């Protein structure tokens, strides 16, 4: 039985947005299996889209296609081929062997993330629909990429909203190690695909890390929320005078230390600090410390708009402190990966931070996620990472 929408609630689908919320539905068959395929009909009964059904989620259906076409292995093969083909046109492999191959809704496969780390794919299935087709998709990925190893990192909290349990295990192949060496520009990183954050590495910041390198020479750099050292390694490799890396995760810092070693970078110019950035920035302020370049790349403080107000205060807090710690002419690389805060609001928060820090600053660059994390024009939620490079006058 199809899902019939309430009158006028077909508008978002006509704009090709792929989500249908429970409140838009007039009639549904609640016995339909989780993740199975269902037609979405307008109130007058005409066909709008074919979707996956998520009985437990507020996002009750996610569109596979707006065409009247079968949803089967062949459908997913085409979508996977398109995503692979698109990546091959970016010349990504010139710079790296680690990149996002499938970016969920933005690549026409809601709920499915696939990241490539050299000869391993890491798959994250976040919704009932992607879960329903997971085994088929895994076979297709092996066939279409030629990569035999797939590790599954379906352990993100959002799966709970779909009534799905966390999964963290090998899905295809026979991996002997979960520490995967990758290359990013001319640098090397070890990625822990089994225990690292997300699928193991923050691939979305790749080109921003490279950009940071271009500004790093002879600067005293403070890298806040450093994880396994992405920005720190680029800074050291580009002759930063000193780099301090802060993270609350001891595991991340220990991998950072290894990443410095495998790149033969000067350890004497680097200091790791395990701790809370919010507290350490205050301590540095009280000690009248100063830096030439500060990176703020906090975790997702506002997953949805409902968290935006509280998150805005936290973003403002750290950015205000960073503006105070910067020397004149110093650079702030500041980011938000919060879906609940859009680029306009983020810029306003940073402006408020500069104002309260009594600092004049200019934006010299707007930053975003890399091309391997494309954003469908019909799905603005796909644009989650925003960043600014500011210069303190
Ligand atoms: N810039 C990194 C990614 C940062 S992810 C890169 O390019 O790889 C955010 C990091 O913030 C995570 O490593 C997490 O452990 C850390 N973190 C979260 N809350 C923190 C806090 N209050 N203080 C310090 N680190 C924190």
Confidence at residue 49, expressed as pLDDT on a 0 to 100 scale? 98
Integer Cα distance of 70 and 308 in angstroms: 39
Confidence of residue 59 (pLDDT cuts 50, 70, 90): very high
Measured CA to CA, the distance from residue 112 to residue 141 in angstroms comes to 12
Report whether pLDDT(10) > 90: yes
CB 65 near ligand 1, within 6 Å: no
Supply the pLDDT for residue 3. Answer: 98
State in Å: Cα 227 to ligand 1 middle: 5
pLDDT band per the 50, 70, 90 thresholds, residue 232: very high
Q: What is the mean pLDDT of residues 32-39?
A: 98
The domains found in the chain, sorted by start residue, are 3-65 (2.30.130.10), 73-178 (3.30.750.80), 202-392 (3.40.50.150)
Query: Residue 200 pLDDT more than 90?
Result: yes
Q: Is 390 a catalytic residue?
A: no
Q: Look at residue 304 and tell me whether its pLDDT is greater than 90.
A: no
Q: Nearest-CA neighbor of 35 among 139, 161, 127?
A: 127
Is the distance from the beta carbon of residue 252 to the nearest atom of ligand 1 less than 6 Å? yes
CB 283 within 8 Å of CB 254: no
Closest atom of ligand 1 relative to the 209 alpha carbon: 7
Q: What is the rounded CA–CA span in Å between residue 269 and residue 247?
A: 17
The answer to whether residue 223 scores a pLDDT higher than 90 is: yes
pLDDT level of residue 303 (50, 70, 90 thresholds): confident
Give the pLDDT of residue 246: 98
Q: Is the pLDDT of residue 207 over 90?
A: yes
Is the predicted pLDDT of residue 306 greater than 90, yes or no?
no
Q: Provide mean pLDDT across the span 129-158.
A: 98
- In this model, does residue 109 exceed pLDDT 90? yes
Per the rule left: phi > 0, alpha: psi between -120 and 50, beta: everything else, 348 is alpha
Cβ–ligand 1 distance for 184 under 6 Å, the answer no
At 150 the pLDDT is 98
String of b and e for 19-42 (b: at least 16 CB within 10 Å)?
Answer: bbeeebbeebeeeeebbebbebbb
Mean pLDDT (the chain, rounded): 97
What is the spatial distance between Cα 337 and Cα 369, in angstroms, rounded to a whole number?
9
């Amino acid at each position: 039985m199809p899902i019939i929408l309430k009158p006028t609630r077909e508008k978002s689908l006509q704009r090709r947005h792929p989500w249908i919320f429970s409140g838009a539905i007039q009639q549904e068959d609640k016995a339909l299996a989780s993740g199975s395929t269902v037609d979405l009909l307008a109130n007058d009964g005409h066909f709008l889209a074919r979707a996956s059904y998520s009985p437990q989620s507020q996002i009750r259906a996610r569109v596979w296609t707006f065409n009247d076409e079968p949803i089967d292995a062949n459908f997913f093969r085409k979508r996977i081929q398109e995503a692979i083909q698109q990546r091959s046109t970016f010349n990504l492999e010139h710079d790296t062997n680690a990149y996002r191959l499938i970016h969920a809704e933005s690549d026409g496969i809601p709920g499915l993330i696939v990241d490539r780390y050299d000869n391993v794919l890491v798959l994250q299935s976040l919704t009932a629909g992607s879960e329903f087709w997971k085994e088929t998709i895994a076979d297709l990925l092996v066939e279409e990429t030629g990569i035999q190893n797939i590790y599954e990192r379906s352990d993100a909290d959002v799966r709970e909203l779909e009534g799905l349990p966390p999964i963290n295990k090998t899905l295809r192949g026979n991996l002997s190690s979960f520490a995967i060496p990758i290359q990013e520009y001319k640098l090397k990183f070890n990625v822990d695909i089994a225990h690292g954050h997300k699928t193991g590495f923050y691939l979305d910041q790749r080109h921003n890390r490279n950009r940071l390198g271009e500004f790093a020479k002879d600067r005293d750099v403070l890298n806040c929320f450093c994880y396994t050292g992405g920005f720190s390694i680029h800074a050291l490799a580009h002759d930063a005078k000193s780099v301090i890396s802060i993270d609350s995760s001891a595991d991340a810092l220990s991998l950072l230390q290894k990443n410095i070693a495998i790149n033969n970078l000067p350890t004497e110019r680097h200091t790791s600090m395990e701790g809370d950035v919010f507290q350490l920035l205050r301590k540095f302020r009280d000690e009248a410390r100063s830096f030439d370049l500060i990176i703020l790349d906090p975790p997702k403080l506002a997953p949805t708009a409902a968290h935006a107000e509280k998150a805005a205060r936290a973003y403002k807090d750290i950015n205000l402190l960073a503006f105070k710690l910067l020397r004149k002419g110093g650079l702030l690389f500041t980011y938000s990966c919060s879906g609940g805060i859009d680029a306009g609001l983020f810029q306003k928060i940073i402006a408020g931070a500069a104002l309260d820090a009594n600092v004049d600053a200019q934006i010299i660059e707007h930053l975003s996620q890399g091309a391997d994390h494309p954003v469908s024009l019909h799905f603005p939620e796909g644009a989650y990472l925003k960043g600014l490079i500011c210069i303190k006058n």
